[in-house]
């Protein structure tokens, strides 16, 4: 992961790594033209990881007084909606035919952690050094 996205909080950084790996696996499965149920399974896993991660991240932002909590939560909600749409799109047994289109639509997945840059800066400056 790009160092500018490291928060210095191990739990969050580990979650980000797993989310990035799972998001990359979705794109690889589409590229390999894997069957719809394989792609769908990985998208479902990604959705679960994100839901859990966003809950943890939002609690952490609330506890630490992160000043952009509301905007950040909105981004989380938008991302969850996109991934929910992906879940439906990957239920199509004819997925293989449209995998190129889906790959373009889902290309944001390679930047899935990017919206946390300011959060990472805040945590590094104000919170992560307090950990023992």
34 part of the interface to Fe ion, by CB under 5 A: no
- Cα 111 to Cα 121: distance, rounded to the nearest angstrom: 17
CB 64 within 8 A of CB 123: yes
Comparing CB distances to Fe ion, the nearer of 58 and 92 is: 58
Cβ-Cβ contacts under 8 Å for 45 (sequence gap 6 or more):
22
Q: How far is the CB of 90 from Fe ion (least distance, A)?
A: 23
How many residues interact with Fe ion (rule CB under 5 A)?
2
Residue range at the interface with Fe ion (CB under 5 A); choices 3-11, 24-32, 57-65, 81-89: 57-65
Q: How far is the CB of 58 from Fe ion (least distance, A)?
A: 8
- Cα 93 to Cα 81: distance, rounded to the nearest angstrom: 22
19, 37, 49, 58, 69 from 43: Cα distances, Å: 11, 10, 10, 22, 26
Q: How far is the CB of 114 from Fe ion (least distance, A)?
A: 10
- Cα 19 to Cα 116: distance, rounded to the nearest angstrom: 13
20 part of the interface to Fe ion, by CB under 5 A: no
Residue range at the interface with Fe ion (CB under 5 A); choices 44-52, 63-71, 92-100, 116-124: 116-124
- In this chain, which of 116, 120, 122, 123 binds Fe ion, going by CB under 5 A? 116
Q: List residues near Fe ion by CB under 5 A.
A: 57, 116
């Amino acid at each position: 992961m790009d160092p500018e996205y490291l928060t210095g909080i191990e739990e969050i950084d580990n979650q980000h790594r797993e989310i990035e790996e799972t998001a990359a696996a979705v794109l690889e499965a589409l590229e390999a033209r894997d069957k719809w149920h394989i792609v769908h399974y990985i998208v479902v896993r990604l959705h679960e990881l994100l839901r859990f991660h966003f809950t943890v991240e939002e609690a952490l932002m609330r506890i630490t007084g992160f000043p952009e909590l509301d905007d950040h939560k909105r981004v989380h909600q938008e991302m969850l909606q996109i991934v929910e749409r992906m879940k439906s799109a990957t239920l199509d047994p004819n997925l293989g035919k449209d995998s190129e289109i889906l790959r373009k639509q889902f290309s944001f997945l390679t930047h899935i952690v990017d919206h946390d840059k300011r959060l990472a800066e805040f945590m590094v400056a104000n919170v992560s050094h307090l950990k023992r």
